[in-house]
Amino acid sequence: MSKRRLLCAGFSFLILFLCCTTSCQAQNNSFCVPSSCGNISIRYPFRLKVDPENCGHHEPIFALECQKNSTILSSKSQKYNVLAINYNNFTIRIADPGLDRDNYSSCPIYSSVDNDLSSSYMYLASSESITLLNCISPINNSLYIENQFCGNKSAFSNSSKIHSYVVIGSILGSYLEESCTFDTVVLTSSSIPLQENATYSTIHVALAFGFELSWYRAMCGECDASKGTCIVEDNQIRCRHYCYEDTPLSERSLLCKIMPYLCLEHFFENGKAENFNYYKGLIIAPRLLCGLPFVLGLIVYKWRRRHLSVDDETIEEILKHQDNLMPIKYSYSEIKKMTKSFKDKLGGGRCGTVFKGNLRSGPFVAIKMMANSVACGKEFINEVAKIGRIRHANVVKLIGFCIEGSKRALVYEFMPNGSLDKYVYSQEGTFSLSYGKMFKISLGMARGIDYLHQDSEHIDIKFHNILLDENFNPKISDLGLAKLYPLDDIGGVSYKADLYNFGMMLMEMARRRENMNPFAENLSQVYFPSWVYDQLNEGKQLEMGNATDEERKMMKKIMIVALWCIQMRPKDRPSTSKVVEMLEADIGILRMPPKSFPISGEIAKDDEYTTRVEASI
């Protein structure tokens, strides 16, 4: 075979290979030697400021400092101690420099986390906020944990004595005691379970542990901007580009089409013309037979992709106007990997089916695959943007979402104790949790509803929408998803309807609680709220078996609040903030509502919510 033919064959193979795919790594830093500072190994995307710039990511925040054998990460206005870098799950753990694990009197020096970090990182969903407060008088509130070490004396210039407290989770102004002001909000990614009765020493250890940030999205952001496909190979983030994604069809296929004919002409340059035409026909005929359906299919695919991409473009435009705490956008293939092809089903309902999954960083997640009746992409992503901004102790955190073609998914934090309905409607026929947990759940539900009603008229609250974490803290899920469905399915709604549902849920929990069901002995007591009202109004004790005095007070408080919430006229029902206030108040100052209840199973005619009670609970 001549050199021309060999060259032609090799060149043809090269062109065909280039027409198929190209790939590149995020950064070629093979000539950079990893650095270290203390016990921290530093390599791409990080580098020390004294290292060559090409050894790390181009953004300044990836350039670390080494001061007195401690690694420092600097934002525009703050500096953090680097405690660990995990190159396997792409996370870095940092902490406020004022915190020392071995010194309980050490306190954070920053009042909040610098928002500049979010320009390059994404806070992990596992981060928990801890709020430090200053008060001019002692506080008698179980949520407020006394803090003897950290207090900002300048907060009250006219007071020589201040009282400092810590509250686990975020806290709204409506829950802030009158004599208190906010001091500091600190994030932690510690796995130590933090409960309301936790000691300050435990909280201090969690604070000193620091919080984790991920650089995965930062690396993939550049890849996405270049229209590449971001993947992880051998614990490295890589960006692959396919030439057909950004090269016009006519240009990228030109060489692929003409090279076989050029080589064929050279191959038959000394042959007969009829032989050349014969072999040329053998090439053209199969290309026409196989290529025509392929071209038609490609046209249909491109048409569908262009129409479906309208959703993605709209989504990206909406996300640009949201804050830095937006949820992560996952591909459908990533969702399948997380759920191991939807292997572990947790449950389902009108909105879709929920599956258990795993993030690459380890934590479990609950992934809801939305039903096909969900509205168009813009309306869906508006809801995602709304839910993704919420950071509240009694609202399930939205970690991410997926919108790909007709596929819609929401990725939530995983709640190990499941939904509240499995405890209310247990096989034993009774509410299986203690009175203390019942009150804790009731108060948490009320706080979550009050928080959500600041931005929403209705949240469609039901037992299966209340999820319980490992400490049985209630968290509201599926908030606002009813808005994605036609109103014909659920009727008109308002926050007063949510209050009615909340009151009936409290009644149902109490009715199913062991030793609180009087119906077996007196069949005339058909309507439980009416029986409860008569018992309380006549000063009688509720039938609670061997319950303690404190438990009886908690249940009485729950019942009075429930009776207020289920008043016949919506205007007679209290506001959500008033409900929280009543549950937190002393039982002695609560007054009974008028005896004005709807007929069993129905709601008053003037209520905007027209569905039956049974559908609500």
Q: Are 502 and 481 in contact (CB under 8 A)?
A: no
**Which whole-number Å values give the CA distances from 470 to 131, 191, 194, 416, in the listed order?**
21, 12, 10, 6
Tokens of 574: 């209290």
Q: What is the Cα Rg of the chain in Å? A: 31
Residue type, 210: G
User: How far is Cα 490 from Cα 497, in angstroms, rounded to an integer?
Assistant: 12
460 is an active site residue = yes
- In 3D space, the residue among 470, 353, 340 whose CA is nearest the CA of residue 410 turns out to be 353
User: Catalytic pick from 183, 460, 478, 607?
Assistant: 460
Whole-number Å distance between alpha carbons of 161 and 506: 41
What is the C-alpha separation between 196 and 130, in angstroms, rounded?
Answer: 12
Half-sphere exposure of 240 (CA within 13 A, CB side): 11
Say if CB 593 and CB 564 are below 8 A apart.
yes
Q: What's CA 286's distance to the chain center, in Å? A: 52
Give the residue from 586, 595, 517, 518 showing the smallest Cα distance to 554: 586
Provide the phi-psi class of 550: left if phi over 0, else alpha when psi is between -120 and 50, else beta: alpha
At 64, give phi and psi (nearest 5°).
-95, 160
CA quadruple 101, 44, 402, 492: dihedral sign: positive
- What distances in angstroms separate CA 336 from CA 331, 445, 561, 593, one per listed residue? 9, 32, 44, 52
CA distance 454 to 377: 25
Q: What are the strands, taking DSSP E only, across 121-225? A: 122-123, 128-135, 145-146, 163-168, 180-188, 211-214
Nearest alpha carbon to residue 149 among 196, 194, 177, 184: 184
- The total of other beta-carbon atoms located within 10 Å of residue 473's CB is 20
Whether the CB-CB separation of 167 and 130 falls below 8 Å is answered with yes
In whole angstroms, what is the distance from residue 169 CA to residue 178 CA?
A: 19
How far apart are alpha carbons 80 and 97 in whole angstroms? 6
- Rounded CA-CA distance 545/534 in Å is 19
Q: Quote the tokens at residue 2.
A: 């001549």
Q: Which of 75, 108, 117 is nearest to 182 (CA)?
A: 108
Q: Which among 419, 404, 534 is positioned nearest to 476, based on CA atoms? A: 419
Could you give the count of Cα atoms lying within 13 Å of 526 in the half-sphere of its Cβ?
Answer: 4
Q: Among all residues, which ones are annotated catalytic? A: 460
